[in-house]
Structure 1
Amino acid sequence: MSYGVLQEYYFDNWTFEGSRTITGVIGTTANGVMYLSMPLLFALFTRRWAHRRQLAAVCGTVIACISFFLSSYSKTVWHLLATQGIASAFGCALIYSPTTLSLGEWYTSSNRALAYGIVLSCKNIVGTSCPFLIRGLIDAYGFQKTMAVWTGIVGVLSLFAIFLIPTHPSKVSIHQTRARKIPWNFLRHRSIYFYSVAIIFQSSGYGIPQTYLTTYARNVAMLSQTTGTLMVAVFNAPGIIASSFFGWLSDNNRIRLSVQVVAAIPPLACGLFTFLFWGLAIEGASAMLIVFSITFGFFSSGYSATWGGMLKQMERESAERNEAIDPGMLYGLLNGVRGIGYASGGIAGVGLLDSGFISTNHRFAYGTPYGPLILFTGLSSILGGWVILWRWNPAARLLPTLWTTWGI
C-alpha cells in the first residue's frame, strides 16, 4: 500500500546493482505473489489444515519479518525483489489466508460482504498513515533503520492480532474426522469465469497508480517530495470508507442493484477518472493529481468488497442445482485471479514506461513517458466493468453457447 514511497527513495538514492526499472515491478510482484498463493493456501486451510491456521499465521509473520529485515541489507535490485517482492509477500499471504477464512465462517449471513468490507478498510488505514511514517523514518534514520523499525511493527502487531482471532468450531473438529473433499462443482458455472475475467482486468490497472504516481508527481509534474507522499496517502484514505460502503451496498436489500451493477461501478469509475484527471493533468497541477488520487483510490479500493455479492450469487446458483460449495475456497480463488492481474499489470508497466510517448502534445500527461501507463490503466479499468453485460441479451445468449460448446 505504501511501496510508492520506497520506490521514490530508491530512484533518488540509487546504490543498487541492476536496472532501476525493476523497482517498478517489486510492489506489483508483492501483490501478485500474495494473491496467486491464496488459492493454494485457502484450499489447505479451509478443511484439512483448518486447525493449523494460527500456527500458519505465526509462521507467516516470521517469514515476513525476516524478509523485511534482510531487505535493508540489499546490494542488488534482485535482492530487493526477492525479499520485498516475493518472500515477504508470501509471509503476508500466510497471515491473511487463515484469518480471512475464519472471518468468512463467522459471518455467513447477509452481512458477510459488509464484514469483508470493514476488514478491507483497515488496509487503507495503514495505507493512509504509513506513507508519512515511512517517509519520516527514512528522512530521520535512513533506509536500513527504517526497515528494522518496520520489521518490529509487523512482528508485534501481527502476533498480537493473530492470537485474538478464533477459528470456527466446525473447522477445529474437522481434523478429528475424515475431512470432506473440496467441492469443485462451481467450475461448471459460467459466473466464476465471467467474474474472473473482470477481476483480472481491474487488478492489472489497479497497481499502476500505487507504484508510479509518486515518481510521476516528482519527475514529471515537478512537485515536492511531500506532495508525492501525500498522493499515496490520499489514494488510500478514501478506501477506509469505500470498502465498507461497497460491502454494505452488496448486502443491502433496500437499494435494488444487481450484483453485476455493483461490481461494475468501481472499475468503470476508475477508468473515467484516469482519463480525465491523470491523463489531462499538466505540469505543476497538483490539484488534478490529488483529485485523481482521491477518486481512483475510493472506487478501486472498494472493488474487493463487491466480491461478497459475487459469492452470494454463486452460492445461490449452487443451491439451485443442489450442489455443495465452499465460500472460503471460492474467495481464495478470486484472490488468486486478482494475483494474475497484479502480476501481468506489473510486467506490462515496466515495458509501457520504456515504450515512449503516445502524443506529441507534452502539455498533458498523455504526452509524457507515463502516457502509455495512463492509457493502460484507464482501458484495463473500463474492461474490468464488463460484468455489466451480464444482463445484455446478446451476451446472455452468447456465453451459455460457449459454455455448452466447451462442455462445461
Structure 2
Amino acid sequence: MDAEIELSPTTSQTDEKRASAKLARKHAYFALLGCSILQLPIWGIAMTFGIFQSAYIRDGLITSSSGSSGVIGTTLNGVMYLSMPILFTALDRGTWAKYRRSVAITGVLISSLAFLLSSFSHQLWHLVLTQGVLAALGSTMLYSPTTLYLDEHFHGGKATAYGATLSSKNIVGTCCPLMFTALLDHVGSRWTLRIWALMLLVTGIFGIAVIPTKASLARRSPAKVPWSFLRHKTFYVYCIANAVFSSGYGIPQTYLPGYARDVLHQSTFSGSITITLFNAPGILSCVGFGFMSDRRKWSPIATFLSAFGTSVCALFLWGLASNRIPGLLIAFSLGCGFFAGGYSSTWGGWVKDLEREAIEANEAINTGMLYGLLNGARGVGYALSGGVSGPSMEL
C-alpha cells in the first residue's frame, strides 16, 4: 500500500508531462498552420510583381516604361528584408514580446490600406511609396512577430518547420500569378488592387488568430540582446553568401513575365505561367532542403546544392539561348525555381551552426533574432540588384 502511495505522485507527474507535451505539439502545429496561411498576405504580390508591370502602364497607374516600374518590386522586397532585423531584434526581447500580436495586426491594416491607396495612383512614385514602402513595412510587421512564434514553438525540427512555411510561400507564388492574371484581365489593375487589399485584410487577421500567442516553454529569450555572435566569423560568412545569392534571386520574379512577352513575344498569360513555373518547384525543394538542413552532416550539402544548381541554371539555361528558344526559358523557370527556392530553407541549418558555436563558447543567443538578421542580409542583396536590374532589362 505504501508503495502504491509513493508511486502515485510519480504517475501524476508523468501524466502532467504528457499532457504538457501534447499541448505543446498542438500549439506548434497551430503556429505552423497560422504562419503558412500568412504567407498569402505577406508574399502574394511580392513574389509575383512582374504580373503587374505592364498592367500598371496599360491602365494608366504609371506612365514610365515597364523596365523602370520594376523598381517597385525590388523596393518592396528590399524594404521588407532590410527592416526585418530591426523588428526581429526588438520583438524577440522579453520586454517587447507582449506587443507581437498588436504589431502583426497593425501590419495587416497598414498593408491593406497601402494597396487600397495604390489603386488611385497615377505616377511611379505613388506606387513606390504605397507598395514599395508602406505595404512592405506592413508585411514586415506581420511577418516578423508571427515567425518568432514559430521559432519558439519548434526547437528540434526548426529547419523543417521553416521549410514547410516556405513551401507554403511557394504555393502562394504558384497560384497567385494565375489569380492576378485573371483579375487584371477582367477588372483591371485598380480593382485588382482593391480586391487584394480586402483579401489581405481577411487572411491576415485569420492567420494571426490561428497562432497561439503563448511562447513555448522549451525556450526563453535572454533579458538582454546577446551580441556575442558578432565575434564569430561564421556569421559573416553566412551573411555575405546570403547577400550575394539574393542579389540575383529577386530578378526572375520581377522580370520573367516581361521578358517572355517583350523578347519572346509570348502572350500575357504565357508570361504569367513563367512565374508559376518558377515558384512551383520550391514547394518540394523548401521542405527537402529544410529536412536536410536539420541534419548536421547534410546541412552544408543542402546549401551547396541550392547555390550550385541555381548558378548552373542561370548560366546554361538563361544565358545559352533563352532569348530565342521558349523551351529554355521554361526549363530555367523550373530549374532555377527548384534550387533557388529552397535556399532560404537552409538558413535553419545555419542558425543551428551558430547556436552550437554559442553553446561551445558558453554564450547566450537568440535564434529568432539571427533569422531576422539573415533576412536583412537578403535585403542587402535585393537593394543591390534593384539599382541595376531595371536599366539592364531595358537594354
Bin of the TM-score, shorter chain as denominator length: 0.7 to 0.9
Give the structure 1 partner of residue 11 of structure 2: none
| Cα distance in 1 for residues equivalent to 2:321 and 2:194 | 37
| Cα distance in 2 for residues equivalent to 1:102 and 1:136 | 35
Per-residue deviation at 1:18?
A: 4.7
Give the structure 1 partner of residue 13 of structure 2: none
* Paired residues of 1:50 and 1:174 also in contact (CA < 8 A): no
Give the structure 2 partner of residue 58 of structure 1: 105
Per-residue deviation at 1:167?
A: 2.6
| Cα distance in 2 for residues equivalent to 1:282 and 1:199 | 26
Q: Does 1:226 align with 2:273?
A: no
Q: Kindly report which structure 2 residues correspond to 1:38-53, keeping only aligned pairs within 5 A, or say none.
A: 38-47=84-93, 48-53=95-100
| Cα distance in 1 for residues equivalent to 2:392 and 2:63 | 22
Per-residue deviation at 1:116?
A: 0.3
Per-residue deviation at 1:242?
A: 1.0
* Paired residues of 2:279 and 2:337 also in contact (CA < 8 A): yes
Bigger mean CA deviation after superposition, 297-306 or 275-284: 275-284
Per-residue deviation at 1:170?
A: 6.0
Match of 2:186 among 122, 133, 140: 140
Give the structure 2 partner of residue 182 of structure 1: 225
The CA deviation string for residues 86-128 of structure 1, in whole angstroms up to 9 with x for no partner, is: 110110000000000010110011x110000000111111111
The CA deviation string for residues 336-371 of structure 1, in whole angstroms up to 9 with x for no partner, is: 1110101111112123335xxxxxxxxxxxxxx4xx
* Paired residues of 2:153 and 2:216 also in contact (CA < 8 A): no
* Paired residues of 1:8 and 1:214 also in contact (CA < 8 A): no
Report the residue type matching 1:92 in the other structure. Answer: S
The structure-2 alpha-carbon separation of the partners of 1:14 and 1:130, relative to structure 1 and needing over 3 Å to count, comes to: same
Match of 2:391 among 338, 347, 351: 351
Give the structure 2 partner of residue 340 of structure 1: 380
Bigger mean CA deviation after superposition, 90-99 or 219-228: 219-228
Match of 2:355 among 315, 319, 329: 315
Match of 2:138 among 80, 87, 91: 91
| Cα distance in 2 for residues equivalent to 1:298 and 1:210 | 13
Match of 2:315 among 275, 292, 295: 275
Q: Does 1:107 align with 2:150?
A: no
Per-residue deviation at 1:275?
A: 1.3
The structure-2 alpha-carbon separation of the partners of 1:18 and 1:270, relative to structure 1 and needing over 3 Å to count, comes to: same
Unaligned runs of 5+ in 1: 355-368, 370-408
Q: Does 1:216 align with 2:259?
A: yes
The structure-2 alpha-carbon separation of the partners of 1:340 and 1:80, relative to structure 1 and needing over 3 Å to count, comes to: same
Report the residue type matching 1:287 in the other structure. Answer: G
Normalising to structure 2: TM-score of the pair?
Answer: 0.84
| Cα distance in 1 for residues equivalent to 2:111 and 2:172 | 17
Give the structure 1 partner of residue 125 of structure 2: 78
Q: Does 1:69 align with 2:113?
A: no
The structure-2 alpha-carbon separation of the partners of 1:15 and 1:313, relative to structure 1 and needing over 3 Å to count, comes to: closer
SS at match of 2:320: coil
Per-residue deviation at 1:247?
A: 0.3
Give the structure 2 partner of residue 10 of structure 1: 56
Give the structure 1 partner of residue 73 of structure 2: 27
Q: Kindly report which structure 2 residues correspond to 1:292-311, keeping only aligned pairs within 5 A, or say none.
A: 292-311=332-351
Normalising to structure 1: TM-score of the pair?
Answer: 0.81
Per-residue deviation at 1:281?
A: 2.5
| Cα distance in 1 for residues equivalent to 2:59 and 2:194 | 18
Per-residue deviation at 1:13?
A: 4.7
Give the structure 1 partner of residue 303 of structure 2: 263
Per-residue deviation at 1:279?
A: 1.4
| Cα distance in 2 for residues equivalent to 1:337 and 1:168 | 29
Per-residue deviation at 1:12?
A: 4.6
Per-residue deviation at 1:282?
A: 4.8
Report the residue type matching 1:94 in the other structure. Answer: M
Give the structure 1 partner of residue 204 of structure 2: 158
Give the structure 2 partner of residue 357 of structure 1: none
| Cα distance in 1 for residues equivalent to 2:271 and 2:216 | 48
| Cα distance in 1 for residues equivalent to 2:351 and 2:61 | 47
Per-residue deviation at 1:14?
A: 5.0
Identity %: 45
The structure-2 alpha-carbon separation of the partners of 1:21 and 1:216, relative to structure 1 and needing over 3 Å to count, comes to: closer
* Paired residues of 1:106 and 1:168 also in contact (CA < 8 A): no
Per-residue deviation at 1:21?
A: 3.5
* Paired residues of 1:38 and 1:332 also in contact (CA < 8 A): yes
SS at match of 1:325: coil
CA RMSD of aligned residues (A): 1.9
SS at match of 2:236: helix
